[in-house]
Amino acid sequence: MGALEGGGRFILVLVNGILSLAGIALLIIGCIAKWGEQLTDQYLSEIYKTFQSAASSINTNVDVSNFNIADVLNDVFIALIVLGGFFFLFGIFGCIGATCKVKGALIIYSGVLIFIIVAELVCVILLFTIREKVDGWLKDPMKRQLREKYSGLNGTDTVTLTWNLLMTNLHCCGVDNHQDFNHIAGNITLPEACCLNTLPCSSATANSSKGCYAAVEDWLNKHLDIVIGTLGGICGLEVVLLFLSCLTFCARRRSRKTEDNQDGMNEVKYENKKERTDAMGTTIPS
């Protein structure tokens, strides 16, 4: 049991140490990406070239110089910062709980793990039981973004450029189909980005029937083995960490109980020894 406990604590420290380092890395990346625009532009020049080539492939000279990756991925960068902070603190609690056997740290660590596992199970259940509602929750913001901000093939704002790149590269149109553009300002009923090869085009010669939401789903289904394997590995690791944290907590209680019993035995021995000493030193009156 001692070897199992020691090995479990070592694994806890190792995994949570790596998790804390990963959290620091995510924090740094998120902060640089969100607030270090000049630095990120140097590393994202290839992405900007991809945008330009995608625009050129459909016979337009749209200028992508106004494109800013931070505008597109602002929520992603914020998520990286929050996730990095969470990983760092979570890993620290795990390391403290494993090395020092601190009761509070172990309880918080185990509680957070249980919450994460339950939340993941709920998400999986919802995904299979109310799939249509989940799709609606994801599609509605995308459609609203199209209606409010999409300005056509020659648009130079970040949202328009992103959608044009998505539609040309994935050979899709809108969220569900070309009808998503019916209520857009400027009477855009079939964006040029939906066209296959020639301009102008009609619904018969365009990617109008397949939405980008379905295209992304197809991409995920194509890589389903990798996705399932990754998620399964993460869930398995969480269960192992929960087991090891509970094992460490139980070992701590056992150790404390043994120490208390030993202290009690030592106290009894001390009292007995004191009584014998007092008895030997007492003179019997004549």
- pLDDT digit string (tens) for 222-250? 888 888 888 889 999 999 999 999 988 88
By the 10 Å C-beta count (0-12 exposed, 13-18 middle, 19+ buried), 159 is classed as middle
Residue 284 pLDDT > 50, yes or no?
Answer: no
Average pLDDT of span 199-215 = 70
pLDDT of residue 112: 94
Q: Which residue has the higher pLDDT, 203 or 97?
A: 97
Residue 93 pLDDT > 60, yes or no?
Answer: yes
pLDDT of residue 14: 94
Secondary-structure breakdown of the chain: helix, strand, coil percentages, each rounded to the nearest 5: 80, 0, 20
Average pLDDT of span 174-196 = 74
- pLDDT digit string (tens) for 40-72? 666 666 666 666 665 565 555 556 666 666 666
Average pLDDT of span 124-131 = 83
Average pLDDT of span 153-175 = 80
Q: Interhelix angle for 158-170 vs 45-57, to 10°?
A: 70
Highest mean pLDDT among 15-24, 30-39, 119-128, 244-253: 15-24
- pLDDT digit string (tens) for 140-160? 988 888 888 888 777 767 788
Q: What integer best gives the mean pLDDT of the chain?
A: 79
pLDDT more than 70, % of the chain? 69
Residue 283 pLDDT > 50, yes or no?
Answer: no
Buried residues in 226-260 as b, exposed as e (16+ CB within 10 A): eeeeeeeeeeeeeeebbebbebbbebbeeeeeeee
32 pLDDT band (50/70/90 cuts)? confident
